Structure 1
Amino acid sequence: MDLPRYPYHQSLEQRSGQPQRRPVVIVGAGPVGLTLALDLAKRDVPVVVIDDSDRIGEGSRAVCWAKRTLEVFDHLGVGEAVAREGVRWQRGRVFHGEREAYAFDLLPEAHHKMPAMVNLQQDQVEARLVRAVQLEPRIELRGRHELIGLEQDADGVTLNVRTPDGLFDMRADWVVGCDGARSPTRTLLGLGFAGQVFEDRFLIADVRLAPGVRPRGLDPATPERWFWFDPPFHRGQSVLLHAQADGLWRIDFQLGRDANVDAERDPERIRARVAAMLGSDGFELVWSSIYQFCCRRAERLRVGSVLLAGDAAHQVSPFGARGANSGVQDADNLGWKLAAVVKGEGDDVLLDSYEFERIEAADDNIGHSTRATDFISPKSALSLRLRKAALDLAAHTDFAKPLVNSGRLSLPTAHVDSPLSTADAEVWTSGPGPGCPAPDAPLDEGGWLSEQFGRGFVLLAFGWPVQAPGLRVITLPAEGVAATRYGARPGSVHLIRPDAVVAARWHRFDAADVAAALARAHGRPQ
């Protein structure tokens, strides 16, 4: 795939010498910044995106895109293409040595539009997003615009930007820093970025196999996630294998804390590791990188009129595919809230709810990520013995399988304590409660329930139609897949937020209750 660029050009501010006030400026043109820009534009909010580069980053980097992220992409018009071009999978296998310890299925039930996971290299996902942004008249994407200064006052934010033609100032009502782990936005805000830095180093190798070569017997027609603890081809360490698009395979080798990074970068040394793992030298080394990772979070995600999202706000280890997925879900959470505030449809406290909910999600992801890292890289002889016992038992007993942690795969966080939610007033025996993600289901007339989310608030009515001023109502059967997944009975109604989160639910429709829940979800509790 030819990757699009967004070359530098002089802006109106530079030509006129006068800052032009913008509703929203996004710093960073990675997957998170581009997702947020598209989301805001779909809600009729003009956006300027600035990035210190003018091209998509090199290498595969993030590879696994989770079902919820694919649904977000689908609302923006790129989800079906990502799912079509990537490698779909839902089954994983974990090995101890060469013996299988256990297997898992991420989506054992049918009737979902999007698969559990799609593997597609980050540069190809970014290419789809960049092309969508370049076709959107409400978005201006500016390459080689480096943020070097940030000042807030009562009237908004001034950004000092460096370009090939020198410095100039921009003005914005709101700024969102989506500028990565080394975020200039976060630094200029003076925010701490506390957490744990892990000493272990890992090698990524992207390889293309020769015809007929199968890695360890894995069938490319039914791709799975394979993870080895202490395999015979890489003793004492771990290895992760994923299929990628375009016939590539991603292999992650744990190198340990004392690895000689310079020596491990030697292409011949990398090829030797890959050949030992594959049992064949029939491959091409396409790309490689050595990484060390952190689990940490910014102390705040909002400071006045400036917000943080993605890696600028939080970092996790790569085990569980929680980094890019949680960043896209940050954008999904923030987009409708920021649009509502810009357009005067929601109260400013909506943005405080973004900070509350996404700190909750970040801490959830960091917790899962840290526990996976501790299991993969034991810090003591006792921890190593406990891990071996769990792996040995998992092959024979069900109770030990949950103890094995090669990375809990990304799932959206339930915001059960969100200030935007209206608590249940009745007893529910099943289904997602307020603050939980709204599940997908097929529609009788064709299409999918997930396709109906994302544009605004929606009221799901099970069994018979209702009228709710200012709300789009979707009438669903009182029996069937959707009713079962939502725990509904005839007369049940569910209020769904624009980011596909349940805001409230009732066993019977009451217009006043719905209006009060809608006001609360806009940050204006009555």
Structure 2
Amino acid sequence: MPYDYAPFPYRRPPGLDAPEPRHPVVIVGAGPVGLAMALELANHGVPSVVVDDNDVVSVGSRAICWSKRSLEIFDRLGIAEQAVEKGVTWKVGRTFHGDREVFNFDLLPEDAHQFPAFVNLQQYYVEQYLAERALAEPLVDLRFKNRVTGVDKTSGRLEIETPDGPYALEAEYVLACDGARSPLRDMLGLSFEGQTFEERFLIADIEMAKDSAPGGDTPERHFWFEPTFHPGQSALLHKQPDNIYRIDLQLGWDADPEHEKRPEVVIPRIEKVVGHSDFRLDWVSVYTFRCARLDRFVHDRVIFVGDSAHVVSPFGARGGNGGLQDVDNLGWKLAAVLNGGDPGLIESYDRERVFAADENIANSARATGFMTPASPVAAMFRDEVLALAGKTAFARPMVNSGRLSRPCIYPGNRADDPSLPDASRPGAVAPDAPEGNGWLLPQLARAPHLLALGCAAPDIGVAVISPEITPEIRARYLGEADQAIYLVRPDQVVAGRWTSADETAIAEAVAALWAGQA
């Protein structure tokens, strides 16, 4: 059955009847990023007002591939269990050239992780789960049918239009989570710097019986270069819940988007992919590849988060997952600043997430170049790489059908010991592992922690966790070392590590963390 796009309730905002007090945070946009931002701030005790000009979730599946890191963030926000239960779990990808499978890959070959490599779940479900959590959270004031018509970046003042008339809000910080076509970005006269690729793709969501899908009901990612059912182009297939399948088809730059979205044009294309006509068309869209970002994400009291700050081509699942990683980075920093902390933390959000956006853009642009060669020479190189990849393992990393989303490793972090495992190096998200009857990573959240392994941590006013050293913890944190101490940020990113309990060095690293330098 199709998703029920039931509207959320509109409530008359108090600002229509009397001036509202200045709020700590106003979030513009109630998509996955805006709602996640509100819930993450609530985790740190910070109230927020969320305004959105709509009253329903996004129409169409849109972002569907949620990475292991996003699921770990969802766990903090209280929706991970719902997302995994409803979603389609997968970790295997298969790459084809023509009708021949070139190779396959496993994104999470080792066991003992709380969450899978990826879960496919339509964006409307994610928004629904987050909205339900936000509506039940006392620290979140969620206002639908509230459209921002003006913003002052210096004062943090917003002009808002509602069905009952206009009113104003003021905030210490305004978070622009209003998407790729961000009205706030336009109101401030800001523009994206980047590249638009001369290529268009069709997205089609279809509902069909699971035993009639290519590959059967196996939850895998299938990517084809030049398949026989779509000659000279590329195609992608993902399974979603409710017997919905996502099919992406390369169209070429000269394709007319409005023409290509017509059912009488789409349906024959899909029939060639699935080999029959026993399906129902659920949603169709045509998109153009684009990779771009703002020069800066912080503009006085207005902070851009998610697609309002940066956009990437969709292959690789870097859009929605990258936006959640923005939330992950900003939440604890903004809470600290609002509680009197060092403003340098806000600048560190700009620095680190610009770095991450550039990495995502680079990966996305490379994937686009490989999928859509710009010249006959590039096409020849691509085809030779695909031929080699079917025979030799060394060529497989060169095949790029969209490097799948992983959190970046932030640069410039302090104290390190290169003898410790690469998985837990400074700048990386601390790896999860079984611990007791639960998991290690959820314990390393919402506040800085010292993770003491095989030794005692110094008493410097930071919470200490000293878990039993399981085989997984040893492999992911100690390697061949007998002991180590890790400093982990509130967003579960490793800020420093040592093989001895050097109190001075660790205290300096904690001070640097709160100054936005780690």
TM range (shorter): over 0.9
Partner of 2:131: 130
SS at match of 1:246: coil
Alignment partner for residue 307 of structure 1, among 299, 303, 306? 303
Partner of 1:416: 411
Deviation at 1:197, TM superposition (A): 1.0
Deviation at 1:161, TM superposition (A): 1.3
Residues 90 and 118 of structure 2 are in contact (CA less than 8 Å); yes or no, is this contact kept in structure 1? Answer: yes
Partner of 2:236: 240
State the alpha-carbon separation in 1 of the partners of residues 516 and 366 from structure 2.
38
Residues 204 and 285 of structure 2 are in contact (CA less than 8 Å); yes or no, is this contact kept in structure 1? Answer: yes
Partner of 2:276: 280
Does 2:467 match 1:476? yes
State the alpha-carbon separation in 2 of the partners of residues 229 and 126 from structure 1.
33
| Deviation digits for residues 242-298 of structure 1 (CA, Å, limit 9, x no counterpart) | 000111111011111111323322212211111111111121111111111310001
Matches within 5 A, 1:387-398: 387-398=382-393
The residue identity in structure 2 corresponding to 1:387 is R
Residues 459 and 473 of structure 1 are in contact (CA less than 8 Å); yes or no, is this contact kept in structure 2? Answer: yes
More displaced stretch, 2-11 vs 256-265? 2-11
Q: TM-score, normalised by structure 2?
A: 0.96
State the alpha-carbon separation in 2 of the partners of residues 260 and 73 from structure 1.
38
Deviation at 1:524, TM superposition (A): 6.9
SS at match of 2:194: strand
The residue identity in structure 2 corresponding to 1:511 is E
Change (3 A) 1:33 1:524: closer
Deviation at 1:316, TM superposition (A): 0.2
Matches within 5 A, 1:67-86: 67-86=68-87
Partner of 2:173: 174
Change (3 A) 1:4 1:514: farther
Alignment partner for residue 383 of structure 1, among 362, 367, 378? 378
Partner of 2:447: 456
State the alpha-carbon separation in 2 of the partners of residues 176 and 373 from structure 1.
30
Alignment partner for residue 496 of structure 2, among 497, 504, 525? 504
Matches within 5 A, 1:62-461: 62-153=63-154, 156-210=155-209, 212-215=211-214, 218-220=215-217, 222-344=218-340, 346-417=341-412, 421-424=413-416, 426-431=417-422, 432-443=424-435, 445-461=436-452
Residues 385 and 399 of structure 2 are in contact (CA less than 8 Å); yes or no, is this contact kept in structure 1? Answer: yes
The residue identity in structure 2 corresponding to 1:82 is A
Seq. identity, %: 47
Deviation at 1:466, TM superposition (A): 3.3
More displaced stretch, 65-74 vs 469-478? 469-478
State the alpha-carbon separation in 2 of the partners of residues 377 and 370 from structure 1.
10
Residues 428 and 494 of structure 2 are in contact (CA less than 8 Å); yes or no, is this contact kept in structure 1? Answer: yes
5+ residue gaps, structure 2, are none
Change (3 A) 1:213 1:478: closer
Does 2:486 match 1:487? no
Matches within 5 A, 1:26-41: 26-41=27-42
Deviation at 1:455, TM superposition (A): 1.8
SS at match of 2:466: strand
Partner of 1:15: 17
The residue identity in structure 2 corresponding to 1:6 is F
Change (3 A) 1:499 1:7: same
| Deviation digits for residues 225-246 of structure 1 (CA, Å, limit 9, x no counterpart) | 0000000000011010000011
Residues 414 and 496 of structure 2 are in contact (CA less than 8 Å); yes or no, is this contact kept in structure 1? Answer: yes
The residue identity in structure 2 corresponding to 1:170 is L
SS at match of 2:473: helix
The residue identity in structure 2 corresponding to 1:38 is L
Residues 209 and 243 of structure 2 are in contact (CA less than 8 Å); yes or no, is this contact kept in structure 1? Answer: no
Q: How many residue pairs end up in the alignment? A: 514
State the alpha-carbon separation in 2 of the partners of residues 81 and 5 from structure 1.
21
SS at match of 1:102: strand
Residues 51 and 144 of structure 1 are in contact (CA less than 8 Å); yes or no, is this contact kept in structure 2? Answer: yes
State the alpha-carbon separation in 2 of the partners of residues 465 and 478 from structure 1.
13
The residue identity in structure 2 corresponding to 1:210 is A
| Deviation digits for residues 203-246 of structure 1 (CA, Å, limit 9, x no counterpart) | 1111111363132xx131x3110000000000011010000011
Residues 461 and 492 of structure 1 are in contact (CA less than 8 Å); yes or no, is this contact kept in structure 2? Answer: yes
| Deviation digits for residues 451-510 of structure 1 (CA, Å, limit 9, x no counterpart) | 213221111111244353432211134462112112353331101111110011111113
State the alpha-carbon separation in 1 of the partners of residues 168 and 359 from structure 2.
38
State the alpha-carbon separation in 2 of the partners of residues 70 and 49 from structure 1.
22
Alignment partner for residue 515 of structure 2, among 502, 505, 523? 523
State the alpha-carbon separation in 2 of the partners of residues 496 and 37 from structure 1.
23
Residues 346 and 516 of structure 2 are in contact (CA less than 8 Å); yes or no, is this contact kept in structure 1? Answer: no
Deviation at 1:387, TM superposition (A): 0.9
Deviation at 1:199, TM superposition (A): 2.3
Deviation at 1:177, TM superposition (A): 0.3
The residue identity in structure 2 corresponding to 1:114 is F
State the alpha-carbon separation in 1 of the partners of residues 510 and 427 from structure 2.
14
Deviation at 1:127, TM superposition (A): 0.4
SS at match of 2:474: helix
Deviation at 1:102, TM superposition (A): 1.4
State the alpha-carbon separation in 1 of the partners of residues 174 and 442 from structure 2.
29
Deviation at 1:42, TM superposition (A): 1.2
Deviation at 1:3, TM superposition (A): 4.8
SS at match of 2:336: helix
Deviation at 1:4, TM superposition (A): 5.5
The residue identity in structure 2 corresponding to 1:494 is Y
The residue identity in structure 1 corresponding to 2:382 is R
Residues 434 and 470 of structure 2 are in contact (CA less than 8 Å); yes or no, is this contact kept in structure 1? Answer: no
Change (3 A) 1:383 1:110: same
State the alpha-carbon separation in 1 of the partners of residues 470 and 201 from structure 2.
49
SS at match of 2:148: strand
SS at match of 1:476: coil
Residues 191 and 300 of structure 1 are in contact (CA less than 8 Å); yes or no, is this contact kept in structure 2? Answer: no
Q: TM-score, normalised by structure 1?
A: 0.94
